[in-house]
Amino acid sequence: MLLVMDLVMPPVLLSEWVFFFIFCMLVNSQLPENLKCKVVRNLIQAGHEVHVVTGAPDYVYTIETQSPRLFIRKVLLDCGAVQADALTVDPLASLEKYNQTAVLPRDSILATEVEWLKSVKADLVISDVVPVACRAAADAGIRAVCCTNFSWDFIYADYVMSAGYHNRSIIWQIAEDYSHCEFVIRLPGYCPMPAFRDVIDVPLVVRRLHKTREKVREELGILDSQKVLIYNFGGQPAGWKLKKEYLPEGWICLVCGASEDQEIPSNFIKLPKDFYTPDAIAASDVLLGKIGYGTTSEALAYKVPLIFVRRDYFNEEPFLRNMIEHYQAGVEMIRRDLLNGCWAPYIERAITLKPCYDGGVNGGEVASRILQDTATGKHHSSHGLSGARRLRDAIVLGYQLQRITGKDIAIPEWYSLAQNELRSRTQLANKEVLDIGSLTRQSDYFTILHGDHQGLPDTLGFLKSLAEMESSGRPQNNNKLQTRDHLAASAMFNWEEEIFVSRAPGRLDVMGGIADYSGSLVLQMPTRESCHVAIQRNHPSKHKLWKHAQARQPKEGPTAVLQIVSLGSELGNRGPTFDMDLSDFVEDGRPITYEKAYNYFARDPAQKWAAYVAGTILVLMTELGIRFEDSISILVSSGVPEGKGVSSSAAIEVASMTAVAAAHGLNIDPRHLALLCQKVENHIVGAPCGVMDQMASACGEANKLLAMVCQPAEVLGLVDIPPTIRFWGIDSGIRHSVGGSDYKSVRVGAFMGKKIIKSSASVELCSSLSNISTQQINKSNPDDADEDGKNLLETEASLDYLCNLSAHRYEASYATRLPESLSGQEFVEKYLDHDDSVTTIDKERNYAVRAPTRHPIYENFRVKAFKVLLSATPSNYQLSALGELMYQCHLSYSACGLASNGTDRLVNLVQEMQHSKSSESEGGTLFGAKITGGGSGGTVCVIGRNCLRSNQQLVEIQQRYKTATGFSPYVFEGSSPGAAKFGHLQIRLLKSRQT
């Protein structure tokens, strides 16, 4: 009989059970260490044997628990996330490490673990979401439980977009392993965990204090009058410089994890390595560090405000961050200010916070009791949704998971409420019915000095949000709960001065897609969804600066500053604000190079988004010689969903450059502006896109297709969409990115193919010229056919765009000469370079060549045929032919390796709907579909008859897709004017509003 000493429950009698607690971690693991140690201790104190399987040092557990019932087995079963430094997770290295650790040796790991589980006669497997542990338990016939605030399928899903689609099997396998887990004990601040069956929520897990606040301060020699900052980055940032002036007057800083040889100033105290961190946190006034579960739980439990610096690709962070800020306990610090020592503005802000978390902190005890109940036979019934969620498509690839409205994946109530509140403040919902009259009245808050809002609902909504920001900035209203982006925007503008507003839509790729960089004809339709940018310029002496920006101003006088706010960034893993001195764009009196600008933004990925906006200023400086001497404030509000393949980035670039040009009196024609925006994306952002996205956003018109030959951007005109035809976009939920390796590798393969074709034509031309010379020596004249052939070969030997090669010439002369694939090393050795300025060849990589080369040649032909068919007599034959061209395009994408399960599923659903008996009897409604843009996920374009029945069928496809995958797809419908057609607004707040 054993007395359970540390559990919040009465003493109980327990039979002898053997618990198997399995997990693994590395030094840079992201898992909550305090939870593991606490559960282990509680179970041992309850009289159970605990076997810990880990890659961590023994002292992690023995320092808290010394017991003969604790057994530690050193085995590494997964690797967590690999960090490049204290603030950056390396996605590619993480996936590669996991592949080497858990995927390749999977069979032997399973066999070993199953045999060991049976040998120790374990009764329960408890895992902190090690996937293979759940499968091993199932194979051994043992129940398994996970205890966590996140799961690796969700964390790795975003990494896959960087590593390529071939790594998706990792996500599927992890999800399948988790499906063997009976339930998950879920901690506060959790991420979506769609692969698990049942959930039991527990309170925060917090380590108990060993000493009082007063005792700690006394031992460290800290006076009662002194304010204390604790600096805790997990010991990783050894070597970061610490200077006395980093702290406000009268503050002391406790440094955790400092190396023995690190020199620190007199107002910093280096804590011993064995100092109990929770005691130090509770004795401090402010905590400066990075967000992790342990830091978050202790900051909330001990009501210590946390100044945090974002970690790149640390994908559980937005959920923990929002929990911290919900309880008024967090302040975000820009990484640049952390490294440069601009700490004071953040410390002064943090000390004014009143953390208000009043929930439970006994999660360790509650979890231990649940585990004991489980071991004694208590069962938990399934909620019935696990079947579909354990399918491959149940895992919605991409970090956009948290940004999707209408999803049925469980997320915290407070997070959902915050998300809904934020959406209501930024962009209009997809199907929201608008009171246009009401919105028009809201625009009366401003005098429109130039331009016309054209009655566009999203523009009227944006003007309304500007008015709300101005109102929230007034003293009588500043006590209202505001999101950080709205607070920053309201404090950034001088509301009595003029503001310029621009608008640029996304685009639906109807035909053309990735053939744009090969010079194809493309057909693009501007979407109803758009991006708005508000901009204001002021003399540096009159410009309103955020506190941390003020702290950086030189003593000799104010300098020009750029400040940017991105509305809606709270829903993603990026900072809502960005600021820089405009002098950072100048070196030796000249604009910095694009390469230096790329590195400038890349050094802090949480703020890399600003490159799309700020990059427009550098491009104007570099290409047009514009000088920017005034400070600039920019507000970006985009309703074009990210990662859907509808050119959210182009909409931001075009809207930003249009606004900058308007505010500075620059007259740039739309085509030139689009080409300048492409430079932003290619050279400053680093995405190798063609120009069709920017051209469609800048030059498109509502309910028309922009026809353009991408050589580089020759607009042929606008193509009317027949009233009998309609186009829609359906989002697959799988994140798309032209910056992803799949798109890049296909582009590289196409340029390799062009180089091989040109080389082959040159060789044949030389041979032909040699034959002609021989004929002349023999005094026989070459016939006209030989001359024509020579001219043809000369053209192909100097081929500038791949799409200028006809399909029949490709098949007749070059198709068989192209290899299916070729290594980068082989290509470089033979051809030196692939002549593409925005991609580089990885010599270690193998590239597909034939399919990426063939695609744009045939796509160019398909687009030409599509354009002609649009003007044909309306009929089912016309629609069937147009749909067939789209299906062929989709298959060609797949041949290039740019398919995805989600987009294939949607295209198949359209095909099934098209060929259903009901559709055939009604003469058909939907006729074709294709993947769009850069492929590898994103949106599917659908063509159909413009009628009510088509919309009904789209709704049915939505429902079928949701049933199969758990994801309800967003439907893009409707169109709107491009940026040039909209122009810009010049507005000023009404005087009645200023008083």
Q: How far apart are CA 281 and CA 879, in angstroms?
A: 68
- Only one residue has tokens 């999800």, namely 175
Residues 6 or more apart whose Cβ sits within 8 Å of residue 577: 334, 484, 485, 488, 546, 563, 564, 565, 566
Q: How far apart are CA 714 and CA 530, in angstroms?
A: 24
The strand pairing partners of 85, in sequence order, are 88
Q: How far apart are CA 339 and CA 34, in angstroms?
A: 29
Rounded to 5 degrees, what are φ and ψ at 922?
-95, 5
- Is 836 considered catalytic here? no
DSSP 451: -
**CA dihedral defined by 888, 894, 899, 902, rounded to 10 degrees?**
50
In the three-class reduction of DSSP (H, G, I as helix; E, B as strand; rest coil), residue 558 is classed as coil
Q: How far apart are CA 47 and CA 376, in angstroms?
A: 13
Q: Are the C-beta atoms of 823 and 843 separated by less than 8 Å?
A: yes
- Only one residue has tokens 């996500």, namely 171
Q: Are the C-beta atoms of 655 and 533 separated by less than 8 Å?
A: yes
DSSP E strand stretches across 149-262: 183-186, 199-201, 227-232, 251-255
The per-residue DSSP string of 337-393 comes to HHHHT--HHHHHHHTT------S--BHHHHHHHHHHHHHTT------S-HHHHTSGG
Instruction: Determine how many CB atoms are found less than 10 A away from the CB of residue 797.
Output: 17
In the three-class reduction of DSSP (H, G, I as helix; E, B as strand; rest coil), residue 480 is classed as coil
SS (H, E, C) 951-966: HHHHHHHHHHHHHHHC
Q: Are the C-beta atoms of 521 and 716 separated by less than 8 Å?
A: yes
Rounded to 5 degrees, what are φ and ψ at 241?
-75, 135
Q: How far apart are CA 647 and CA 651, in angstroms?
A: 6
Q: How far apart are CA 289 and CA 230, in angstroms?
A: 8
Q: Are the C-beta atoms of 505 and 530 separated by less than 8 Å?
A: yes
Q: How far apart are CA 270 and CA 250, in angstroms?
A: 17
Q: Which amino acid appears at position 634 of this protein?
A: I
Q: How far apart are CA 466 and CA 344, in angstroms?
A: 30
Which of 579, 693, 731, 742 is catalytic? The answer is 693
Q: How far apart are CA 499 and CA 478, in angstroms?
A: 22
Q: Which amino acid appears at position 911 of this protein?
A: Q
The strand pairing partners of 19, in sequence order, are 50, 124
Residues 6 or more apart whose Cβ sits within 8 Å of residue 429: 405, 423
- Only one residue has tokens 């943090």, namely 350
First to last CA, the chain: 76
**CA dihedral defined by 51, 55, 56, 59, rounded to 10 degrees?**
50
Q: How far apart are CA 199 and CA 196, in angstroms?
A: 8
Q: How far apart are CA 857 and CA 512, in angstroms?
A: 11
Q: How far apart are CA 306 and CA 291, in angstroms?
A: 9
Q: How far apart are CA 61 and CA 39, in angstroms?
A: 11
Residue of 341, 902, 848, 824 whose CA lies nearest to 644? 902
The strand pairing partners of 706, in sequence order, are 524, 718
Q: Are the C-beta atoms of 867 and 524 separated by less than 8 Å?
A: no
Residues designated as active site: 693
